[in-house]
Structure 1
């Protein structure tokens, strides 16, 4: 009993200190308790003697202290609980006074201890009772980690590796070996305590100091004074700056060790600082091929439970045939195949009819419930449950079987066929032709090249496709890239444009991949690598590539050949699911001189002579070879040449721009009608063979959009009005005429 008391309380002097609040409020009550406690010496003999005079057993006192701790939602029996149990034996009135004092701190203290115990998990204890998830123990890495832990001068370890490499599984494997006594004697009895970093970082700010200062103390009292522990902080980089260092430095006694885990990109933030000496880096690489197969089988069993499917071993084997080099890619592929298969598994007409019947029965059940008709409710409930069992909702759902053929079809279709909205490259020409005007030859060539790239007629590690768009300014090169991104990848953040005129100097290369450590902008990362890492399925446009520095072109050459790029932080960014497009104005000087043209066939009403589109493409390619290196040109899946736009093309583009403006006004309750003669006026006044469609866009903004915007601000056009735009003659010139018609009924 002495040992029990020594484990649950501090010296009796602390009990005397806890009387100070009573001295200010009730001196008589405090004096009475003080006299009682002063009779007790710090020795256990005197303590027991005093209680024997009060005819109270120590066992009863300890039991009452435990009850007080339980009511306080505290995992430990503290001094205040022993004090309250003592007061309950002194007298009911005195106990109530002490309880009132303790109640003000009870809720806050209980919440703190509750949060503290929710963020820690004993992995070793879970394995001892068979509740730790199944993992593959990587013997080589685990043995090396054990050797590091056995070093007497070893500080805290930091496991570094990219996402999904197996850092957490490595610690779980160590916990399994310790639980089964498959470790050296020095590690027997050690507990692996996992700390939930996300919960710790999201804890209320007022409790962070409490959690940081008491984490080691709680684990010490939880395990006992002679037990050893290793604190494991997964995703250590998610903690606020300073907290991980504080845990390492004040983690408790020497028998408590700290092991953190972080990704490659976040390693420098934790290590490259004055206190970084507290951590020693332990690199965790990809597992061997044999271990990858075992881990993939375990992951398949987990996904079977999560997706309620049945995964055949042939499906796992088919994934390994794709030669995926990362464990995270294999796991993601398994998850995608399951989701894709379930997406295709739509309910049959028979199931839909049964579902309609089920909804009707449930509606009748609600009516019976309102009428309190118990007999009808009983009958309807049995019918509903029986019907749900037949359609797989109330009982066990029908499992979808995923075999090797499903995985083969998944990879054979390529990455673009499994993207949002189920878009297919088969209709790519039709989608592009709706928005790209006057570039039929370029669209057909682009669609054919994209289709070849998607069908995997290329290196496994190369991007989905790499294309070079050539032509004069304003012919639709950038717009084609935007429409292509939307056609292939759907709506969303899947397009980035990099103006190569901003990368003329050598040092500007760092903007793409990030500045090296120690240089300005290191924390910001690279524009290109950060975007592709977050959006792997996207279109990357390098506009006016001929203006970039040669070092930038070397980076593009690496992307098109290797399909990956290493940023300044050492993280590899994959471009395997990205589409690379470069644009250039090479040959535009020849166009301005009028020596060549871009019409696919001679124009009937034009006095200028135009050569064929094929001849024009050949001349432009010859000019391109003089500027770009041959090894750079050979990396493209297709070189697309855009011809000059004719007036007929600009009429169609004008219609598209006006229709877009009409939609904007219609959302504000204003209808716009532009007559054909007004559109012809806009095109005739802005036509430029050299600059393409850009002058037309600017002229529409100036003559149409700006004027209507001014009318709206002056309240000359209001909600429900119709603006009719026509053409009128003013002297010898023509100008647009805008007439506002107000109608009662909004169209």
Structure 2
């Protein structure tokens, strides 16, 4: 039935146009308001969508006014007190406009709908006007279709007559129609949005919000908190409390409506449309004292809808807020508040800030325990308290850049989905699902046949529909909707695998592999590959055993070391071995060459360029890599070359296990191993290596000499490095210079690696001890460590093998020997 209060459905532009049409009818002394009066009134309503449509069709104001303002009789203009009724033709046009808006789910009737209805009408006067202005009907319809995109406009039914006095201002009533609020807002107390049945540890914030809402002035709370801490859930809980009456009497009968600003902006193609919609929303909210608007991500109102010559949402809301016409609750993050709202004091002072802090560990566990039923019902799984506690603990340790309870809920949700994947569907349930799918298909076919007026065929499908419905009902009666006793439990393994997938941390590390086994594996790898460095290997194992036992400080890195020694003795190799054995992946090594950070300006690259500088937003060389690989060895190579400002960054990493990059994001180093390398004291080490093999001295004397040199190097270190940095390191490990025996062992190791590469190609390689001695002797250079070993193997061994294979490609067995100071391959 057509609403008696029809004018409430009209936009401001449409209402003004109808009033202007009434005034034009009085001016021309017509007894009724005619379609041509409405046509001219819409065209005179600047910035309205209807006016823009008419202008695009080719209408001109002077010509149209001349045709529409012909006076019917001589005499004075009709008095303003006289009611001018609608003509039958205009009534029909308004009906068409109303049903056009309804058909396409518009909450209002705008000038665009009135224009469309005018051109759908059969008014002879309008046809004469179009002919006089030389505007073809085809051009008019093309313009309408291109702007409004209404396809297959339906024939509209005749409805009841409009009341003759609907343009007269209505007296205020207790309840008003709110089409714009209905269209663009959602009641936060409705049960189908945001599960907030339980709110743990938020009493202080709730009391503060209620206190602000009951103020006389500036009664607009603004919730400020990090993403995921529960700002929206807090308002949802408040809305449900109001609905239950569990609030002070001053809030009885209030409704908190979530304003969808994106929906308000959507479809506003022309200047003034957005402003008109928002003004209507404000008007409806101001007339209903029980409405409280909630704008989530309120910083988006700054600039929203701002087109050339228009206002943004913030400037439209300011007058209503300052005059107390509406109440509004906002929610935003601290970063967005500083970036947008704090810079606009006129807007900021309309709100009262409420800081929503991240809940504690125990509060989060309580929150998850109280809302677990919704996840259990959705995923058809079972959650235990131990599993929930594990999810919270792991989220805090391994996802430091997000906030509780959101990150813990994500783990629970994904782990539940993982557990659900393992569920086996009963055969009876599979049959029921197939029947339900068939029922949906049958209904679709039936409806399609009805639309095509094939009623006999539709009746047959309707009979099939009834049979399927009975079968499904019978299955439901025997099976139950979903048997509660068949829920799959979410286990600790599901949680661990989920965290591993989300953070790229090896599952073996999360599953807490036996520390003893990992330590044995690390010992074997160091003994095999870190040749000639027994002291250093033992020091590494001692320090890392503390981390593997989980007795270290959880707020610091897993371990921090300073490797000292000459070049080529295995410092970087030790870091690679740790990455492989400690983190399960040799690529889990983040290496920074400190020679790149010798200047003050280059230090900024570690954390990222500050705002306003080239490279801002690209992330830091260190922080970005650690964010992507939170479980890794971080190697600061040749630390003595770094600018002193780098040491300040290292102090923060070693002390707190956290860094904040240039964009304000926190990066955790608590799951990393920090290794600094330095070549301080190289001359002393190379001197020791030469002494050890140019003079015949015993092992005891050589050990004493190493300890003496070690003390000298550490004294040099104390002079060159800041004492507060050295104090924060877990261990300073001195690598010895390599003697000829160590070089021989490394040569043998490299030859074995070469033999494995050839074996993969179907070739076998044998070599005598004399070859090892030959390569080791040529490679022994204390100032270069073992770096010459690989080069000499390439120059002498690999070259000889390549020449042999070129001459005899069918050869599969290779034997090396040394003849006349050269390597020969047979």
The whole-number CA distance in structure 2 between the counterparts of 1:419 and 1:37 is 86
Asked if the contact 1:497/1:541 (under 8 Å) is kept, the reply is yes
Question: Within 5 Å, which residues of 2 pair with 1:256-267?
Answer: 259=330, 261-262=332-333, 264=335
Give the corresponding residue for 2:679. Answer: 585
Question: Within 5 Å, which residues of 2 pair with 1:449-528?
Answer: 449-490=543-584, 494-504=588-598, 510-513=604-607, 526-528=620-622
CA 687–342 in structure 1, closer or farther in 2 if over 3 Å, else same: farther
Give the corresponding residue for 1:372. Answer: none
Question: Within 5 Å, which residues of 2 pair with 1:102-181?
Answer: 102-107=144-149, 122-123=185-186, 125-128=187-190, 131-134=193-196, 136=199, 138-145=202-209, 160-176=224-240
Q: Out of 582-591 and 686-695, give the one that drifted further.
A: 686-695
Asked if the contact 1:315/1:406 (under 8 Å) is kept, the reply is no
1:15 aligns with 2:42: yes
Asked if the contact 1:16/1:37 (under 8 Å) is kept, the reply is no
Asked if the contact 2:659/2:668 (under 8 Å) is kept, the reply is yes
Q: Out of 18-27 and 306-315, give the one that drifted further.
A: 18-27
The whole-number CA distance in structure 2 between the counterparts of 1:39 and 1:682 is 115
Give the corresponding residue for 1:193. Answer: 258
- Specify which of 761, 774, 783 is matched with residue 690 of structure 1: 783
Give the corresponding residue for 1:68. Answer: 100
The whole-number CA distance in structure 2 between the counterparts of 1:232 and 1:14 is 36
Question: Within 5 Å, which residues of 2 pair with 1:269-348?
Answer: 269-270=339-340, 278-279=347-348, 283-287=355-359, 291-298=363-370, 300-305=372-377, 308-316=380-388, 328=403, 332=407, 336=411
CA 465–517 in structure 1, closer or farther in 2 if over 3 Å, else same: same
The whole-number CA distance in structure 2 between the counterparts of 1:533 and 1:653 is 35
Secondary structure at 1:136's aligned position in 2? Answer: coil
Asked if the contact 1:342/1:400 (under 8 Å) is kept, the reply is no
Secondary structure at 1:497's aligned position in 2? Answer: strand
Q: How big is each residue's C-alpha offset from its partner over 1:596-635, in whole Å with a ceiling of 9 and x where there is no partner?
A: 89xxxx99x9967655997687556534642246765554
How big is the shift at 1:565? 3.4
Asked if the contact 1:168/1:234 (under 8 Å) is kept, the reply is no
CA 553–20 in structure 1, closer or farther in 2 if over 3 Å, else same: closer
Give the corresponding residue for 1:78. Answer: 110
Q: How big is each residue's C-alpha offset from its partner over 1:170-209, in whole Å with a ceiling of 9 and x where there is no partner?
A: 4434544565674785997564435487x99xx9xxx798
The whole-number CA distance in structure 2 between the counterparts of 1:405 and 1:26 is 71
Asked if the contact 2:577/2:586 (under 8 Å) is kept, the reply is no
CA 404–482 in structure 1, closer or farther in 2 if over 3 Å, else same: closer
Give the corresponding residue for 2:631. Answer: 537
Q: How big is each residue's C-alpha offset from its partner over 1:46-81, in whole Å with a ceiling of 9 and x where there is no partner?
A: 9963424x4x7x4x6544323322455645322222
Asked if the contact 2:98/2:109 (under 8 Å) is kept, the reply is yes
CA 78–564 in structure 1, closer or farther in 2 if over 3 Å, else same: same
The whole-number CA distance in structure 2 between the counterparts of 1:346 and 1:171 is 34
1:565 aligns with 2:662: no
The whole-number CA distance in structure 2 between the counterparts of 1:239 and 1:735 is 77
CA 196–315 in structure 1, closer or farther in 2 if over 3 Å, else same: farther
Secondary structure at 1:652's aligned position in 2? Answer: helix
The whole-number CA distance in structure 2 between the counterparts of 1:208 and 1:447 is 66
Q: How big is each residue's C-alpha offset from its partner over 1:130-158, in whole Å with a ceiling of 9 and x where there is no partner?
A: 64421527243344456667889969987
Q: Out of 232-241 and 540-549, give the one that drifted further.
A: 232-241
Secondary structure at 1:104's aligned position in 2? Answer: helix
Secondary structure at 1:232's aligned position in 2? Answer: strand
The whole-number CA distance in structure 1 between the counterparts of 2:795 and 2:304 is 52
The whole-number CA distance in structure 2 between the counterparts of 1:420 and 1:43 is 89
Asked if the contact 2:651/2:725 (under 8 Å) is kept, the reply is yes
Q: Out of 133-142 and 677-686, give the one that drifted further.
A: 677-686
Give the corresponding residue for 1:399. Answer: 487
CA 638–288 in structure 1, closer or farther in 2 if over 3 Å, else same: closer
What root-mean-square deviation, in Å, do the aligned CA atoms of Structure 1 and Structure 2 show?
A: 6.4
CA 85–22 in structure 1, closer or farther in 2 if over 3 Å, else same: closer
Give the corresponding residue for 2:749. Answer: 652
Give the corresponding residue for 2:525. Answer: 433
- Specify which of 52, 60, 85 is matched with residue 49 of structure 1: 85
How big is the shift at 1:577? 2.2
Q: How big is each residue's C-alpha offset from its partner over 1:526-550, in whole Å with a ceiling of 9 and x where there is no partner?
A: 4434443444333222222344455
The whole-number CA distance in structure 1 between the counterparts of 2:83 and 2:538 is 96
The whole-number CA distance in structure 1 between the counterparts of 2:730 and 2:420 is 36
Give the corresponding residue for 2:6. Answer: 4
Asked if the contact 1:513/1:526 (under 8 Å) is kept, the reply is yes
The whole-number CA distance in structure 1 between the counterparts of 2:418 and 2:616 is 42
TM-score by length of 1: 0.65
Asked if the contact 2:419/2:490 (under 8 Å) is kept, the reply is no
How big is the shift at 1:649? 0.8
The whole-number CA distance in structure 2 between the counterparts of 1:344 and 1:562 is 36
CA 99–345 in structure 1, closer or farther in 2 if over 3 Å, else same: closer
Q: How big is each residue's C-alpha offset from its partner over 1:376-435, in whole Å with a ceiling of 9 and x where there is no partner?
A: xxxxxx9xxx9xx99xxx988953435899999999xx9977368979463465477298
How big is the shift at 1:468? 3.2
The whole-number CA distance in structure 1 between the counterparts of 2:495 and 2:583 is 21
The whole-number CA distance in structure 2 between the counterparts of 1:733 and 1:99 is 97
Secondary structure at 1:456's aligned position in 2? Answer: coil
Asked if the contact 1:303/1:335 (under 8 Å) is kept, the reply is no
Give the corresponding residue for 2:315. Answer: 249
Give the corresponding residue for 1:377. Answer: none
TM-score by length of 2: 0.60
How big is the shift at 1:519? 7.8
Larger Cα-atom Rg = 2
How big is the shift at 1:591? 1.4
How big is the shift at 1:647? 2.6
Secondary structure at 1:583's aligned position in 2? Answer: strand
CA 452–338 in structure 1, closer or farther in 2 if over 3 Å, else same: farther
The whole-number CA distance in structure 2 between the counterparts of 1:464 and 1:530 is 19
Q: How big is each residue's C-alpha offset from its partner over 1:80-123, in whole Å with a ceiling of 9 and x where there is no partner?
A: 2233334444269979855544222233999xxxxxx99x9735
The whole-number CA distance in structure 1 between the counterparts of 2:779 and 2:51 is 91
How big is the shift at 1:469? 3.0
The whole-number CA distance in structure 1 between the counterparts of 2:303 and 2:113 is 34
Secondary structure at 2:575's aligned position in 1? Answer: helix
CA 454–428 in structure 1, closer or farther in 2 if over 3 Å, else same: closer
CA 180–290 in structure 1, closer or farther in 2 if over 3 Å, else same: farther
1:574 aligns with 2:658: no
Give the corresponding residue for 2:173. Answer: none
Asked if the contact 1:248/1:278 (under 8 Å) is kept, the reply is yes
How big is the shift at 1:465? 2.4
Secondary structure at 2:332's aligned position in 1? Answer: strand
The whole-number CA distance in structure 1 between the counterparts of 2:690 and 2:711 is 13
Secondary structure at 1:225's aligned position in 2? Answer: helix
Q: How big is each residue's C-alpha offset from its partner over 1:467-514, in whole Å with a ceiling of 9 and x where there is no partner?
A: 333333223322332343344445598432223344456676544445
Secondary structure at 2:149's aligned position in 1? Answer: helix
Secondary structure at 2:403's aligned position in 1? Answer: helix
Point out where structure 2 has 5 or more consecutive residues left out of the alignment. Answer: 18-37, 45-49, 128-135, 153-179, 435-470
